Amino acid sequence: MDLGIAGRVALVTAASKGLGRASALALAAEGARVSICARGEHALRATEAELQALGADVHAVVADVTAPDMAARLVAETVERFGGLDILVANAGGPPPARALEVTDEQIAAAVNANLTTSVRLVREAVPWMRRAGWGRICLITSFSIKQPIPGLSLSNLSRTGLWAWAKTAAPELFPDGITLNLACPGHHATDRMKQLGGDAAHMGDPADFGKIVAFICSQPANFLSSTAINVDGAAVLGLL
Ligand code: NAP
């Protein structure tokens, strides 16, 4: 299937490893030009080289995406380099495990900043360029916890469900301008982080497959797909909604 995004400009944050990296690779394989960021330079340069090996035009920035001014900087640099911005895949590292009654105000603020406000900032900065183009695709990487909260991950549960509620409000405001907004909700995937946590990789999703689903969500044929939260979880969520 032709995803129809060759030449489109994509910004994928937190993308030197794991699900962000896989998303950037899948978009580049479809011919998109790609901006990526991460805090650690070594892995970022390795992923930049992988993207270039696919023939992609790449802009790679060492950056903490959760810093308050970073969304504006990343979007500005992407537009300066490529002349516009068509696709946003907003991703950031997840918060640490925490039992519900043990979380501190500071932990809540940090989780909300990283896993809610950062995505809102990125969308806010990206949308004017998408409106100018009359076309846009936004995919927020969250977690299957928005459908089925995960015991012991109260910070992830509270921040990501808040983002989902915000996205449901934002998507109808964007759709008339040709911009779709969806969430991709991973279950357990065999990223470095999950393998380090001791998960059984044989029973996890392949990040490369997840990246291809993100690329489809950001594709031309996904024109009428908006305001959805798509689980990619190997049937982990048992709820009906
Ligand atoms: P990962 O393998 O640890 O990769 C995280 C990537 O994000 C790395 O490139 C990391 O690079 C970058 N990053 C982290 N914090 C950043 C920041 N503040 N600024 C810029 N870059 C940052 O993680 P993952 O498994 O792909 O998970 C991605 C997201 O999906 C997380 O929010 C995670 O909680 C969520 N999720 C994952 C799974 C799963 O099974 N993998 C399941 C549900 C939800 P640096 O560290 O160098 O910055």
CA of 38 to the centre of ligand 1 (A): 9
Q: Return phi, psi of residue 218, to 5°.
A: -95, 15
Which residue of 11, 12, 13, 17 sits with most ligand 1 atoms within 8 Å of its CB, as the best mutation to test the pocket?
A: 17
* pLDDT score of 119: 99
Helix axes 41-53, 18-29, angle to 10 degrees: 20
Take residue 45 and report the two structure tokens written for it: 């340069």
The response to whether residue 66 sits with its C-beta less than 6 Å from ligand 1 reads yes
Which residue of 25, 39, 194, 231 sits with most ligand 1 atoms within 8 Å of its CB, as the best mutation to test the pocket?
A: 39
* pLDDT score of 173: 98
How crowded is residue 77: how many other Cβ atoms within 10 Å of its Cβ?
A: 16
Q: Which residues 6+ apart lie within 8 Å of 110 measured at CB?
A: 95
Q: Where along the chain do its domains lie?
A: 9-232
* pLDDT score of 201: 79
Q: Return phi, psi of residue 64, to 5°.
A: -90, 105
Instruction: Encode pLDDT of 44-62 as tens digits.
Output: 999 999 999 999 999 999 9
Rounded to an integer, what distance in angstroms lies between the CA atom of residue 62 and that of residue 222? 31
| Smallest CA separation from ligand 1 atom 41, residue | 189
Domain at 9-232, CATH from 3.40.140.10, 3.40.50.720, 3.40.640.10, 3.40.50.880: 3.40.50.720
* pLDDT score of 91: 98
10-residue block means of pLDDT along the chain (241 residues)?
A: 97 98 98 98 98 98 98 98 98 97 98 98 98 98 97 97 98 98 98 79 94 98 98 94 76
* pLDDT score of 241: 76
Q: Note the pTM of the prediction, 2 decimals.
A: 0.98
Q: Return phi, psi of residue 181, to 5°.
A: -140, 120
Mean pLDDT of the chain: 97
Q: Give the chain as a DSSP string.
A: ---S-TT-EEEESS-SSHHHHHHHHHHHHTT-EEEEEES-HHHHHHHHHHHHHTT--EEEEE--TTSTTHHHHHHHHHHHHHS---EEEE--PPPPPB-GGG--HHHHHHHHIIIIIHHHHHHHHHHHHHHHHT-EEEEEE--GGGTSPPTTBHHHHHHHHHHHHHHHHHHHHHGGGTEEEEEEEE-SB--HHHHHTT--GGGSB-HHHHHHHHHHHTSSGGGG--S-EEEESTT------
* pLDDT score of 162: 98
**CA 114 to ligand 1: nearest atom:** 18
Rounded to an integer, what distance in angstroms lies between the CA atom of residue 8 and that of residue 193? 30
